[in-house]
Amino acid sequence: MCGGLEIKIKIYRTIILPVLYGRETWSLTLREERKLRVFENMVLRRIFGSRRDEVTGELRRLYNEELNDVYSSFNIVRVIKSRRMRWAGHVALMGEERGVIEPWWGNRMEVDHWGDLGIGGG
């Protein structure tokens, strides 16, 4: 990578992505995931520019697969999901003595949801 690309990627990682701080707590719908990927691809296309088509010789946008090859980091949705799992692990490790498990898990241990539905052994 040339110096200009490195700076643009660094700006993307240090200024744009941190705007999503707190994303560990988001529960993303498929529509929201798609919108985030579209946003990320739009930014990456601006960073990496266009490419000359090998057959026609015309300039064209980079395809999504080419963006994934050129930008070697994980996509934004995968980062959000991995951080959510890390956050869930921290919450689970806090334990009941800190009063975190009850609001997070609710009172699911005392309720037999399968029994309420007439399924299972409860």
- E strand or H helix that includes residue 103: helix 101-105
The model carries a pTM of: 0.63
* Contact between 86 and 24 (Cβ < 8 Å): yes
Per-residue pLDDT of the chain (122 residues; tens, 9 = 90+): 567 888 998 988 888 877 776 777 777 889 988 998 899 899 999 988 888 888 888 888 888 888 888 887 888 888 888 888 888 777 777 766 666 555 555 555 555 544 554 555 44
Give the three-class secondary structure for 59.
strand
- Alpha-carbon distance of 40 to 42, in angstroms, equals 5
